[in-house]
Amino acid sequence: MNNKFDALKDDDSGDHDQDQGSPKDSEKEKTEDEDKEQNTSKKKMVVPGAGEHPLQYNYTFWYSRRTPGRPASTQSYEQNIKQIGSFASVEQFWRFYSHMIRPGDLTGHSDFHLFKEGIKPMWEDDANKMGGKWIIRLRKGLASRCWENLILAMLGEQFMVGEEICGAVVSVRFQEDIISIWNKTASDQATTARIRDTLRRVLNLPPNTIMEYKTHTDSIKYSLGRLPWSGEC
Amino acid sequence: MEVSRRRILQKHLEPARPLRRCIHIDMEPQINAATCAQALMEEVDQETDISIEQFYKIVNLQKHNEGRISYTRDFLIGLASCPEARKKPEFLPEHPIVLTEARDPGDLRLHEMGGGKEEMAAVRLHSP
């Protein structure tokens, strides 16, 4: 375990998701307040308000930030990831979105996550463990717009891959920003190709933009050993 | 015949339209298939630069998406400025990234019109 976290200390690739230990560990370390908070939100499933435009799925916004100068550990990850709120309609989405700062205005090593309700933005989650993600690295200055286009396509069901999409992440890093979209089945090539094509279309990317698909099992492997030939994770 | 079938298909897709703008309904009935395909290609090219084969692929994909609630980007953005979308959420944690008042939904897109194009062009220049 320790090795894993040590290896991650310098990782700057948006793979903060490896920072946590097993879900059991995290359960133990949750404070009482957080427990209460999460229980209430679980009991009270969000529904679209009268006259609102329903979404195909409910989604949850999360925010995480790595505390500078502190080693990433189970405890610090659990403290650093914060549930912002869940929504079930287009109007409810905008309420949250318009009350959050834009990713381009974030500072430090931080991430916004937007995942289907019930799926945690971690690869250990049942929905993610066989999955992977498309990663696009962006020059500074593009993150807010690309993130908006990405999540609008996801909420609007523009990817057309059935139940495959799990969520999306924008990672603000020192010299670049990274956006990614996670799906359930990394081995399903028809699905991953379709997601790639839709990404190109909705993000309006130049044709030669580099897009990288990474399975979560690879992310885990590389984060454990930092193999010299694996380059940056 | 082809043409009229396609029109019916488009009608069924309301309000789910993955292509931002679709075929105009007010076409002359005697327009032949080739002219129509040309018109379609032009429509599509303006936005996304996809080929006619890809266009048909997307139309076919859209059939798979039937029964799912889908919205275009423009439709979603259209809802961003309605009063319901500007309210403060009932439960909102206190947090440095959480704003006390809603940001202007147009600020990003205004910015897009100004500096956005140049930024994209800059990306192109940097790419090999």
Q: What is the DSSP letter of B29?
A: T
A9 in any annotated domain? no
- What ipTM is given for this predicted complex? 0.77
Question: Are A167 and A182 a contacting pair, CB within 8 Å?
Answer: yes
Number of domains in chain A: 1
Contact at CB, B127 and A209, closer than 8 angstroms: yes
A101 in any annotated domain? yes
A232 in any annotated domain? no
**pLDDT, tens digit, for every residue of A117-148?**
999 999 889 999 999 999 999 999 999 999 99
Q: Tell me, yes or no, if A90 comes closer than 8 A to chain B by beta carbon.
A: yes
A233 in any annotated domain? no
CATH code of A187's domain: 3.30.760.10
A39 in any annotated domain? no
A44 in any annotated domain? no
Pairs of residues, one from chain A and one from chain B, whose beta carbons lie less than 8 Å apart: 129
A58 in any annotated domain? yes
Between A28-37, A46-55, A66-75, A216-225, the lowest mean confidence (pLDDT) is in A28-37
Q: Does pTM surpass 0.80?
A: no
Q: Using CB atoms within 10 Å of the CB of residue B112, give its burial: 0 to 12 exposed, 13 to 18 middle, 19+ buried.
A: middle
Name the E strands within A38-144: 54-65, 81-89, 110-116, 132-139
List b or e across B22-56, with b for residues whose CB sees 16 or more CB atoms inside 10 angstroms: bbeeeeeeeeeeeebeeebeebbeeebebeeeebe
**pLDDT, tens digit, for every residue of B77-89?**
999 999 999 999 9
**pLDDT, tens digit, for every residue of A165-195?**
999 999 999 899 999 999 999 999 999 999 9
Contact at CB, B95 and A84, closer than 8 angstroms: yes
Contact at CB, B119 and A160, closer than 8 angstroms: no
Question: Are A201 and B48 a contacting pair, CB within 8 Å?
Answer: yes
Cis, peptide link before residue B15, omega less than 30° from 0:
yes
d(CA A39, CA A125): 18
Q: Tell me, yes or no, if B59 comes closer than 8 A to chain A by beta carbon.
A: no
Instruction: Give A106's contacts in chain B (Cβ within 8 Å).
Output: 97
How far out from the chain centre does Cα A94 lie? 19
Instruction: Give A153's contacts in chain B (Cβ within 8 Å).
Output: 73
Question: Are A156 and B72 a contacting pair, CB within 8 Å?
Answer: yes
A37 in any annotated domain? no
Q: Using CA coordinates, name the residue in chain A closest to B85.
A: A91
Domain that holds residue A172: 52-223
Q: Give the mutation candidate from B82, B84, B100, B111 for the A interface (greatest A CB count, under 10 A).
A: B84
Closest by alpha carbon to A198, among A166, A228, A153?
A153
Question: Are A90 and B71 a contacting pair, CB within 8 Å?
Answer: yes
d(CA B11, CA B29): 17
